[in-house]
Amino acid sequence: MADPKGFLKVGRELPKRRPVDVRIKSWSEVYENFGNDKLEKQASRCMDCGIPFCHQGCPLGNLIPEWNDLVYRHDWREAIERLHATNNFPEFTGKLCPAPCESACVLGINQDPVAIKRVEAEIIDRAWQEGWVHPQPPAVRTGKSVAVIGSGPAGLAAAQQLTRAGHDVKVYERADRVGGLMRYGIPEFKMEKRHLDRRIAQMRAEGTDFKTSVNVGEDITADELRDRYDAVVLAGGATVWRDLPVPGRELRGVHQAMEYLTPANKVQEGDYAVSPISAEGKHVVVIGGGDTGADCIGTAIRQGAASVTQLEIMPRPPEARPGSQPWPTYPMLFKMESAHEELAEQGGDRVYAVSTSAFVGDEDGNVRVLKIVEVGGPETGFAPVEGTEREIPAQLVTLAMGFLGPQKDGLLEQLGVELDQRGNVVRDRDYKTSVDGVYVAGDMGRGQSLIVWAIAEGRAAAHGVDRHLTGQSALPYPIPPTARPIA
């Protein structure tokens, strides 16, 4: 155990975000450095609980008390070994995860929880700095081949596990670069792409082969894929976005969030000098209050928007756990992400319990204003409140209202895999689909979710594939029993 009295002596502390007026002038990550000594003190707050509920909160089953203890004892090298034992990419989760582990931390019952996510991020950052992260090519090759479709966190985790198990793995990606939503959805200010590039270089050195700009189902048919490979992992994500079919939807300036975020990210890659969909000088409205909406806000502010307003149909969430969401559940609380902080300091607004009834354009067909109306809560079916209609200026609108599931036409139809009622690919406990030799991981089977779940499912699917190919598997199966898909 770390310091038995650590939680009595040390309060929770996180690194500071750079001042808003400074950070919005650049795309770099928003946090300042946190000294190793401060971090070791944070790790000392862990109580090494007899029943570590943080484990239950983490889909990867991260060995949290073990690496808290190792960090407290200055053994960072062993800490990264324990962290990598359950998580291929701790820098992705350390920077991007909403940390269900912290919501489940026992200290959180009556104090601030252990800063688990920050400890995770610092362990892997230090490991890269010290040169402790190396390629791990397999000692023995099996001669079996696997195609992984999609290079988001699920595809990358599955590919790394299967390559290390000795299989010949090729990852197909229809975009021009590898990374899935971490490449073209999530902006630099949340995670700089160098973290992704470094991992991909490691994977290439281990022997994983990447093929970009290939749309499987179009450029290669499902039959060709199955002929060429001994197994297939589907990791194509939940790419079908939810739309807002109200009058004026066709106006210029109304875009899906991913249509907006992708070119903004491509500017950071050096593909464009300026995004073809820039917020500069415009009144921007972001419809949707989740992660994607926050990423649109931070991007629009950095592009020099004249104003930014975020609309959300749900009522404003509470700031503390309501009785209906007790510890150790993951509560739906009011969040102040870095982009929200920037919005507040720039005089922007987050408006709750409103719905958009129409987009109104100018004589050239460009969106000019949004008609909105206040609505009742979900229990009323979001019924409009009479007399609350109003207009807000909008020259750029981004729709960040979530995703409906995976694309059905093309690959999934050709394979003929069974889909569930929500349109996601059905899988059994081994992450096998209804088609022999075809497995699924991440948002494609689970529906829109989180990076941590995508990595966990990629690892679990790799276990299933390895067993299918060799009759056994030494690869770990991380998903907690309660969260496994039903066969």
Ligand X SMILES: Cc1cc2nc3c(=O)[nH]c(=O)nc-3n(C[C@H](O)[C@H](O)[C@H](O)COP(=O)(O)OP(=O)(O)OC[C@H]3O[C@@H](n4cnc5c(N)ncnc54)[C@H](O)[C@@H]3O)c2cc1C
Residue selected from 60, 64, 124, 394 as contacting ligand SF4 according to rule CB under 6 A: 64
Does position 53 bind ligand SF4 by CB under 6 A?
Answer: yes
Nearer to ligand SF4, 49 or 358 (CB): 49
- List the single partner that 116 binds among ligand SF4, ligand X, none, CB under 5 to 8 Å by kind: ligand SF4
Residue selected from 59, 94, 100, 236 as contacting ligand X according to rule CB under 6 A: 236
Residue 78 CB, shortest distance to ligand X, in Å, is: 27
The tokens describing 215, both together, are 């749309």
| Stretch touching ligand SF4 by CB under 6 A, among 63-71, 139-147, 203-211, 439-447 | 63-71
Residue 361 CB, shortest distance to ligand X, in Å, is: 26
Does position 48 bind ligand SF4 by CB under 6 A?
Answer: yes
| Stretch touching ligand SF4 by CB under 6 A, among 42-50, 181-189, 406-414, 464-472 | 42-50
Residue 137 CB, shortest distance to ligand X, in Å, is: 23
Residue 190 CB, shortest distance to ligand X, in Å, is: 6
Contact string (CB under 6 A) for ligand SF4, positions 195-214, x = contact:
--------------------
CA distance 289 to 317: 11
Does position 440 bind ligand X by CB under 6 A?
Answer: no
- List the single partner that 106 binds among ligand X, ligand SF4, none, CB under 5 to 8 Å by kind: ligand SF4
Residue 397 CB, shortest distance to ligand X, in Å, is: 16
Pairing of strands 349-352, 367-374: unpaired
| Stretch touching ligand X by CB under 6 A, among 17-25, 40-48, 215-223, 414-422 | 215-223
- Helix/strand/coil (H/E/C) assignment for every residue in the chain: CCCCCHHHHCCCCCCCECCHHHHCCCCCCCECCCCHHHHHHHHCCCCCCCCCHHHHHCCCCCCHHHHHHHHHCCCHHHHHHHHHCCCCCHHHHHHHCCCHHHHHCHHHHCCCCCCHHHHHHHHHHHHHHHCCCCCCCCCCCCCCEEEEECCCHHHHHHHHHHHHCCCEEEEECCCCCCCCHHHHCCCCCCCCHHHHHHHHHHHHHHCCEEECCCCECCCECHHHHHHHCCEEEECCCCCEECCCCCCCCCCECEEEHHHHHHHHHHHHHCCCCCCCCCCCCCEEEEECCCHHHHHHHHHHHHHCCCEEEEEECCCCCCCCCCCCCCCCCCCCCCCCCHHHHHHHHCCCEEEECEEEEEEEECCCCEEEEEEEEEECCHHHCCCECCCCCEEEECCEEEECCCEEECCCCCHHHHHCCCECCCCCECCCCCCECCCCCEEECCHHHHCCCCHHHHHHHHHHHHHHHHHHHHCCCCCCCCCCHHHCCCC
Residue selected from 61, 185, 298, 464 as contacting ligand X according to rule CB under 6 A: 185
Pairing of strands 367-374, 354-361: antiparallel
Please, how many CA atoms are within 13 Å of residue 116, restricted to the half-sphere of its CB?
32
- List the single partner that 307 binds among ligand SF4, ligand X, none, CB under 5 to 8 Å by kind: none
Residue environment code for 407-420, b if the CB has 16+ CB neighbours within 10 A, otherwise e: beebbbebbebebe
- List the single partner that 151 binds among ligand X, ligand SF4, none, CB under 5 to 8 Å by kind: ligand X
Please, how many CA atoms are within 13 Å of residue 281, restricted to the half-sphere of its CB?
0
Nearer to ligand SF4, 114 or 372 (CB): 114
Does position 451 bind ligand X by CB under 6 A?
Answer: yes
The tokens describing 254, both together, are 């109304």
Does position 175 bind ligand X by CB under 6 A?
Answer: yes
Does position 251 bind ligand SF4 by CB under 6 A?
Answer: no
Residue selected from 6, 57, 108, 155 as contacting ligand X according to rule CB under 6 A: 155
Does position 293 bind ligand X by CB under 6 A?
Answer: no
CA distance 419 to 111: 43
Residue 31 CB, shortest distance to ligand SF4, in Å, is: 21
- List the single partner that 59 binds among ligand X, ligand SF4, none, CB under 5 to 8 Å by kind: none
Nearer to ligand X, 181 or 254 (CB): 181
Does position 151 bind ligand X by CB under 6 A?
Answer: yes
| Stretch touching ligand SF4 by CB under 6 A, among 11-19, 61-69, 245-253, 462-470 | 61-69
Does position 173 bind ligand X by CB under 6 A?
Answer: yes
Does position 115 bind ligand SF4 by CB under 6 A?
Answer: no
Does position 146 bind ligand X by CB under 6 A?
Answer: no
Nearer to ligand X, 2 or 222 (CB): 222
Contact string (CB under 6 A) for ligand SF4, positions 83-112, x = contact:
----------------------xxx-----
Nearer to ligand X, 261 or 375 (CB): 261
Exposed, middle or buried, 192 (CB in 10 Å: 0-12/13-18/19+)?
middle
Residue ranges binding ligand SF4 (CB under 6 A): 46-49, 52-54, 64-65, 68, 105-107, 114, 116
Residue ranges binding ligand X (CB under 6 A): 96-97, 149-155, 172-175, 180-182, 185-186, 190, 215-217, 235-237, 239, 261, 291-292, 295, 410-411, 442-444, 449-452, 454
